Each structure stands twice: as structure tokens, then as C-alpha cells.
Amino acid sequence: MYAESQLLQHQKLLTENVFGNPHSLNPTSIAATRQVDETRETILKFFHADPNEYLVIFTSNASSALKLVGESYPFPGGRYLLTFDNHNSVNGIREFAHARGAEVTYIPIALPEMRVVDSMLDEQLANSNPGANNLFAYPAQSNFSSVQHPLDWIGKAQARGWDVILDAAAFVPTNQLDLSMVKPDFVPISFYKMFGYPTGLGALIARKSALARLHRPWFAGGTITVASVQGGKYYLADGAPAFEDGTLDYLNIPAIVIGLKHIESIGYEVIHQRVLSLTGWLLDNLTAMKHKTGKPLVRVFGPTTTQARGGAVTVNFYNENGNAIDHRYIESEANKVNISLRTGCFCNPGAGEIALGISRVELDVCFTQPGHAQRLSLDDFRLCIDGKSSGAVRISVGMVTNFNDVQGFLQFARGLLK
């Protein structure tokens, strides 16, 4: 959620200035360019990134930052390696990899904590293709289980010939990412996940050396120095502009500075500690809840302690006989008391399949059924995995969550006990 002060500061900036499309050299355009440049610098400073090493590409969200890498990465003959618990926008890069002849490999995660087994990762990392480009992607924090994977995988992978996408979208809202300590090649983020406002803005923080190896599949307004119709040629601009298609969201971009300063005014230490304290308390209370039969109310998918995890707690609820309660029912009950819960698989199907015990065989049977070649509705999919839960419930603790919010949720959960 955003702070009122963020809105007021942004409103003041827009009321007191006139900004124009930054692609010109007139006063309003120069004023906008100054704001955009300052925002890039502030973002780099915020993440302790050396401007000689990293640059900031503005995008509309984390997904479009990921797509920029996927569509431009020199995949032919190479490998794309990723963990099971990636967001769909990281999974989706595999389609670019497949189309350009790269080998795609998933590293499994193991219940109950939903972490990667180190030896499996080491085995895969040792297998980069030395004659081609190799890309490894993982979330710094899973948006399903909230597991925080080790950041030292980055250096380890790079030493073995991999470029690394560190999906930091779920990590940076409550954890400091220090790009002077770890040096991922590509870092996608979404700003509204960090400070609520504005929506529709993200960034790809990219290492210049890795970016230089990408090849954009097209050009657009703003991305070139020269393009010719009769000559059939175009020349891409240097650095970030080559990856920023069309007009930047120059009125909202300055609100990123306001949001980052808001986080800094509280401090990551405080945010992180507060989120972990509330998460620990939520976990302890939730896992202690038992029906009269002795059956537990919830099962947590992910770590049940505050060790190397973030502030989202993903669970399914069970009745007094130990049978899973449909997550859609839990959501509808929560709606009645004005609690907004996220349910389903959270765009993270790999983690969902592991958590809910949906096997490869079941999925193959489902996807090869007559009528399922091109289209599959969520209801059809539910029929396929007959009897199993098709999703879970996620309770997220963030920067603005307070004791009453968590207590309110626990009271709701207690109301489900029989």
C-alpha cells in the first residue's frame, strides 16, 4: 500500500511543473528528461549499483523487464536453466529459448520447505555449454512459498559460465538488494510491489556487459539514433534507450524517487525486522490451530520458521477430518469479513504442482486428452486433477501490515475451527 505523503508529493510536483515528452530538446522536454535521469540515478543508488557497471531500463512491470531479456537473449545452442518455483513471466522465457534451439531445464524444489537441493543445482550449473550462451533464472524470494534462495548462487553460476536473471520482484519490497555485494546480470522489479504507487512501472536493472550481448528483435520510436525507410537500415541507441519502446511514462517516473525515499525514510532494517516478527507470530499461531478432532487447520507450503523466508505465508485449510477445504471457499468467507486474500497458484505453477502433489503423469494425461490440444479452461483443469486442490491461500505481510491486521486474520482462521 502507498502512503498518503507519496501522493501529495507527486501531486505537488505535477501541479508546480510542466513536463513534456522527453524525446525533444525544448524546456518542458528537458525538465522531463532531468526527472527521468534523476530517477535512474536514484534507483542505482538505492540498490548500491555502480553506474559504470549497471543501468536502469524502465518498463511497465517486472514481466515486461523479463520479456526484454527473453526476446533478446542469444539462445541458439545454449541453455536456459530455472528453478521450479519461478513466476510465469520467468517460465515464459522458455518459449523464446525453445524457439531458438536452447535446452530448457528445471531444477526441482523439495517439500516441506520447498527449497532446492544444493547437489542438484551444482550438477546443473556444472553443465553449461561452453560454446554458447547459458542463462540461469531464479527468484530471490519465491512468490509462492516465500523461500529466499541463496544470493551466493549468482557468483557461483557466473563462475561456471552462466548469465543470471535474479527475479527480485517479491524480494525487494521488504529486503535490501545490494548490487555491490552480488552482481546478477539482469534484475527485474515492479515498483508498485515495493511502495504501492504508481502502478504500471517496473525496471530491468541490467549489467552493461551482459546487456551488450542482447539483440533486440525490432526497433521502435525512441530506441534508435537513425532509421531509414528507403535505406532499410536502423541504428539502435546506446544503453537503456535502446530497450525503451516509445514514450516513457515520464509523469509517473518521478514518483519512483518519492517511493524509494519513502522506503529509505523507514529503512529496510526496520521493515525487514517488522515483517519477519509479524510473519513468525502468524506462522506460530496458525500452525498451532487444531480442530477438536486434533487435525490441524492448515498446512503451510514453505518454511514454518522465519529462517531465510519472506513475509508471505501460503497454506491450505483442512476440515476436522483432514480433508482440504477449497481455497475458493476460504476466499469467499474472507470476503464476507472484508479480508482480501490472494488464492490460486499465484502465477507460479511449478511451486503449485509440487505443493499440491500434482504429478507429471497427471498433467500429461490432462494435456493430451481430446479437446485439450489448443484450449483448456481452469474448470477443465480442475476436473483433470480430480479430487486434488488446485490452489492455495496466500497471506502476505508487508511494509504497512500491523499487529491488528494479523490478529484480524487469525480471528478469521479461528472461526473455521470445528
Per CB under 6 A, 87 contacts ligand PLP: yes
Beta bridge partners of 342: 394
Question: Cα 299 to chain center, whole Å?
Answer: 24
Cβ(145)–Cβ(355) below 8 Å: yes
Residue 8: helix, strand or coil by DSSP? helix
DSSP 257: H
CB-nearer residue toward ligand PLP: 202 or 241 = 202
Cα dist. 261→37, 195, 266 in Å? Answer: 16, 10, 9
Question: Using CA atoms, how far apart are residues 330 and 327, in angstroms rounded to an integer?
Answer: 5
CB-nearer residue toward ligand PLP: 62 or 135 = 62
Q: Which stretch binds ligand PLP (CB under 6 A): 56-64, 99-107, 118-126, 155-163?
A: 56-64
CB-nearer residue toward ligand PLP: 61 or 314 = 61
Least distance to ligand PLP from the beta carbon of 65, Å? Answer: 8
Least distance to ligand PLP from the beta carbon of 251, Å? Answer: 19
Per CB under 6 A, 63 contacts ligand PLP: yes
Question: Using CA atoms, how far apart are residues 417 and 292, in angstroms rounded to an integer?
Answer: 8
CB-nearer residue toward ligand PLP: 173 or 254 = 173
Taking every pair of Cα atoms in the chain, the longest distance, rounded to a whole number of angstroms, is 79
Per CB under 6 A, 94 contacts ligand PLP: no
Residue 175: helix, strand or coil by DSSP? coil
Per CB under 6 A, 67 contacts ligand PLP: no
Cα dist. 119→185, 244, 302 in Å? Answer: 23, 39, 20
Per CB under 6 A, 254 contacts ligand PLP: no
CB-nearer residue toward ligand PLP: 125 or 169 = 169
Query: Binding mask 198-237 vs ligand PLP (x if CB under 6 A, - otherwise)?
Result: ----x-----------------------------------
* DSSP secondary structure of 106-153: EEPEETTTTEE-HHHHHHHHTT--TTS-EEEEEESB-TTT-BB--TTH
Least distance to ligand PLP from the beta carbon of 407, Å? Answer: 26
Question: Using CA atoms, how far apart are residues 192 and 256, in angstroms rounded to an integer?
Answer: 9
Per CB under 6 A, 89 contacts ligand PLP: yes
Least distance to ligand PLP from the beta carbon of 167, Å? Answer: 5
Preceding amide of 198 cis, omega within 30: yes
Can you list the positions of beta strands (E) in 196-244?
202-207, 224-227, 234-236
Per CB under 6 A, 391 contacts ligand PLP: no
Q: Which stretch binds ligand PLP (CB under 6 A): 60-68, 252-260, 279-287, 386-394?
A: 60-68
Question: Cα 195 to chain center, whole Å?
Answer: 14
Least distance to ligand PLP from the beta carbon of 34, Å? Answer: 27
**Nearest partner of 165 among 216, 102, 210, judged by Cα:** 210
Catalytic residue among 345, 347, 366, 384: 347
Query: Binding mask 157-196 vs ligand PLP (x if CB under 6 A, - otherwise)?
Result: ----------x-xx-------------------x------
CB-nearer residue toward ligand PLP: 113 or 167 = 167
CB-nearer residue toward ligand PLP: 205 or 297 = 205
Per CB under 6 A, 62 contacts ligand PLP: yes
Q: Is 347 a catalytic residue?
A: yes
Cβ(279)–Cβ(304) below 8 Å: no
Say which residues have a Cβ less than 8 Å from residue 311's Cβ, sequence separation at least 6.
146, 174, 275, 276, 278, 279, 396, 397, 398, 401
Strand duo 103-107 + 79-83: pairing: parallel
Preceding amide of 112 cis, omega within 30: yes
> HSE-up of 232 (CA within 13 Å, CB side)?
0
Query: Binding mask 108-147 vs ligand PLP (x if CB under 6 A, - otherwise)?
Result: -------------------------------x---x----
Least distance to ligand PLP from the beta carbon of 394, Å? Answer: 10
Q: Which stretch binds ligand PLP (CB under 6 A): 12-20, 57-65, 211-219, 311-319?
A: 57-65
* Interface ranges with ligand PLP (CB under 6 A): 61-63, 87, 89, 139, 143, 167, 169-170, 190, 202
**Residues involved in catalysis:** 347
